[in-house]
Amino acid sequence: MSRDSRWQYGDDMPNLALLYKNEIKGLTVTANAEDSAFPASNASDHRLGLQWHTPASDTDDFLSVDFGVDTSVAGFAVLGTNLLSTGTIQFLHDDDSLFLSPIVNSGNLSLDNTWALPFIWEPVGGRNYAWIPASSNSERYIRFHFINTGAADVRCGVIWAGPRWTPVNNYDVLSPGHKTERGQTRRTMTLTWNWLTLAEAAQLADIAREGSKISRVVAVPQDDVEESFLSEVMLCTISDWAFKSTSSPNVYRSGSITLMEVDY
C-alpha cells in the first residue's frame, strides 16, 4: 500500500472534503499546560513550525478556544503533531466553556487505523489528523483533547476548525502526483468535475481566492461521508483552478482545481 493510495478515487466526490477558513487563526488559545518556550498561542498561527509543546512527561492535555460568539464548524483538524498510534484525540464544540456535556463530541478517537498504519504520511511538521462530523454546528467554545500515550510530551503546530466544501453529486477522479521544490518533494492532486451547482461554485470561488492571500485548505479523503476520522490529511494551497463555460443558469460545467501540499 503506497502513501498515495487513499487519494485514488473514481465515482463520487463525497469522499473528499476541503476544510477552509480556519476560524481559530489569530484567536487566543489556552492550554491546561504548556512549555513556556512553546506556548499555546503558537497553535493559532498558520505556520506549522511554531508549535505548542507540553512540559516533559505531560501527555494528557487540551487546547481550548473561545470564539466570542457562536461559530459554525463543519470540520476539525490538528496539524504537525507528534501523536503516536497508541494515543487518542477528542474534538469538542459546546456552548459552555467547561465542556461538561458537550453538544459536539467526537469521543476519544483512536489513532491506530487499521489501514493507515504503518502508512501514515509524516510531513516535515509531523502527523496530521482530521474529523468530519455528520453536520455543522454553531457553538461558542471548542476544545482539542490530546492523550499521547507512550510519548514524552504533546506537540501540535496548528489546530483547525471551520467550514467545509463537500459537493455531493459530482463525478470525479483524484490524481495524485509529486512536485519537487527547493529539495523537498510534495504531493499534488488535481480535482476535476463534470458539474457544480451555483452554490458549490460560489463557495469554491471564495475558497480559492481567500481575499488577496494564498488560499490554504486541509484536504481530507473520506471513507464515509459522515463521521470520518482519518490520518491521511494534507495541508494544501490551491495552485490553479478554473470553471469552464456553462449553458445552464443553474450549474457550472466542467472545471478543476489543483492542490499542492505545504508544511509551513
Element (H, E) at 201: helix 198-209
Beta strands at 158-162 and 155-156: parallel, antiparallel or unpaired: unpaired
Judge if pTM exceeds 0.75: yes
Residue 130's DSSP bridge partners are 77, 230
Q: What is the pLDDT of residues 59-73, one digit of tens each?
A: 999 999 999 999 999
Mean pLDDT of the chain: 79
Which CATH architecture does the domain made up of 21-163 adopt?
Answer: Sandwich (2.60)
Residue pointed to by grid coordinates 465542556: 99
Our CA dihedral for 163, 221, 115, 1, rounded to 10 degrees, sits at: -150
Domain residues of the chain, as ranges?
A: 21-163, 174-261
Q: What is the pLDDT of residues 111-159, one digit of tens each?
A: 764 333 333 344 445 788 888 888 899 999 999 999 999 999 999 999 9
Is the model more confident about 176 or about 125? 176
